[in-house]
Amino acid sequence: MFSIFLLNLQIFSMSKCEQCIIKQFNSLKSLTKDELIRISGCKTTMIIKKGTVIFDEGETINGVYCVKDGICKLSKLSENGKDQIVRIVVKGDLLGQRSLVTDESSNLQATALNDMEVCFIPKSEIMNDLQNNSKFSFDVLKDMAHDLKEADDIIVNMAQKSVRQRLAETLVYINDSFGVNPDGTLSVLLSREDFANIVGTATESAIRILSQFKKEKLISTKGKHIKIESLTGLKQVE
């Protein structure tokens, strides 16, 4: 597994964490300059191709990924064979934070949704900072609290809202959180199957409802690119 990484995906980069703008967006901003310099020395920058599994359910991660570019999904295989997406991680986020806190293996699979550039920081190097730099650990704590809140919201939506509503909200969420391309299409490009796996429905149902939204002029599509035509309309879907 690791050898594949070495062959195909890994590029050792000379770029320095201390100067990296990305860290602004996550907990790493709370590290001191000295800490960043040390981290910089042991990190591994890698390019990950679209579709690649970054880590799998049950795998021990032993570090954290700082996402410099691209987007990935965190999903979990359910017994019926479907892959439920529980979170989307984008440029600027840290991926695999949970592994710093627990020695358990990952409960989720991470898969690149487009080509990504990430820096892997070994757990051994960053654990000291988590222990000694309280500003940093408090930031990680905040992050996790935020994720937990979002997860609670998702539970409520899953339980109480229709597939139609959940799909509408997913479109709004992606629009609001990750923005749009110059042509107005959603910048996060997902397959119909991905949408189904976020919403928790059959792929056919997701396709069908997207078609309905199109007829109702709430969205327009070219290929798999989706453009929101009426944000307010989507928000009112019942």
Partner DNA sequence: TTTAAAATATGATATATGTCATGTTTTCTA
Partner DNA sequence: TAGAAAACATGACATATATCATATTTTAAA
Q: Which stretches of the chain bind a second copy, using CB under 8 A?
A: 76, 78-80, 82, 84, 86, 98, 101-102, 107-108, 130-132, 134, 137-138, 140-142, 144-149, 151-161, 199-201
Least distance CB 104 / a second copy (angstroms): 8
Residues 47 and 35: beta-carbon distance below 8 Å: no
Site string for DNA, 148-177 (x = CB under 7 A): --------------xxx-------------
Sign of CA dihedral 215, 217, 222, 226: negative
Displacement of CA 133 from its chain's centroid (Å): 26
Residue 188 has φ and ψ, to the nearest 5°, of -85, 115
Which of 102, 177, 191, 236 touches DNA (CB under 7 A)?
A: 191
Nearer to DNA, 135 or 224 (CB): 224
Of residues 144 and 172, the one with the C-beta less far from a second copy: 144
Nearer to DNA by Cβ, of 180 and 207: the residue is 207
- Give the shortest CB-203-to-a second copy separation in angstroms: 13
* Nearest Cα residue to 112 out of 221, 9, 227: 9
Please tell me the count of residues contacting DNA according to CB under 7 A: 20
Closest to 111 (Cα-Cα) out of 79, 140, 144, 77: 77
> Residue 10: which residues within 8 A CB-CB, separation 6 or more?
44, 45, 46, 47
